Amino acid sequence: MLLHRNANSGRGQLNALKKGKATVTDCKTPTRKGYTDFVAAEFVSLHRPITPDVPEAMVAAAGRDLRALAAACGQLSADYPAKGRLDRQAVESFFAGRVEVDAFAIADAILAGDTGKALVATRQAIAGGATGPAITAALAFNFRNLIKASSAPRAMPLEQAAAEVGLRDWQLRKARQQLTGWSPDAVARALRALAEADADVKGAAVDAEYAIELMIIKLGRARRAG
């Protein structure tokens, strides 16, 4: 079996194999949801019940290599006491010191109104290799979920309301909790700050890291202003 990462090197050999009628399977890079769905499926195959926040915690702890993720799921399932459902705390305790602070951790801190924690998480994420566009994209994703949650019918059962706005039930539950403290005006101000920062980190700013930190401060102010 040959693995080719779509780079120029080795393309001649790949083309020769194709001409020889070798079976070729295109494996696109998974989306963020693809990684978490993969983790959820792994635990189903291992017959280990988990809480909804475990897949994201596993991706943060073990990274985005699918082979490493599968191995990590198996290791946690085998070594952690088989009592009840595995939760995020179990993942973080088991992989203590390995959990990376990523862009979505920054978003969680901002939406909770903890600007200080978000700034610390931002510096850690950048030090760990996170890029400005990745951070703004994660924040935009979470703010879009807030907007969807604000329009989800509350008279409907959670699962039905989530489907109505294109979210999973646990995503809607989380977004509704995060909506506390975010008025429509605050969300609008936050989206403007995000748009400015996104342009800055994609070339308009001399210091992209400063632009990201300034955005975090502006987002915190947007929430406090109500």
Confidence of residue 96 (pLDDT cuts 50, 70, 90): low
Same domain, 113 and 193: yes
Same domain, 55 and 129: no
Same domain, 217 and 109: yes
Same domain, 84 and 167: no
Same domain, 52 and 134: no
Nearest to 121 by CA among 136, 133, 138, 109: 109
CATH of the domain at 107: 1.20.272.10
Residues 101-138 pLDDT 10s: 567 788 889 999 999 999 988 887 887 777 788 788 88
Q: Has residue 15 been placed in a domain?
A: no
168 pLDDT more than 80: yes
Structural contact between residues 55 and 66, judged by C-beta atoms closer than 8 angstroms: no
Q: Has residue 13 been placed in a domain?
A: no
Rounded CA-CA distance 67/57 in Å is 16
Residues 170-221 pLDDT 10s: 889 999 999 988 999 999 999 999 999 988 887 765 687 888 999 999 999 9
Same domain, 107 and 130: yes
Same domain, 57 and 108: no
Same domain, 133 and 198: yes
- The residue range of the domain holding 217 is 103-225
User: How many domains does the chain fold into?
Assistant: 2
* Confidence (pLDDT) at 215: 94
Q: Of 73, 94, 115, which marks where a domain is finished? A: 94
Same domain, 143 and 46: no
- H helix intervals, the chain: 11-19, 32-45, 54-62, 66-79, 88-94, 103-111, 115-127, 132-151, 158-165, 169-178, 184-199, 208-225
* Confidence (pLDDT) at 158: 92
Q: Is the pTM value of this prediction over 0.75? A: no
CATH of the domain at 65: 1.10.8
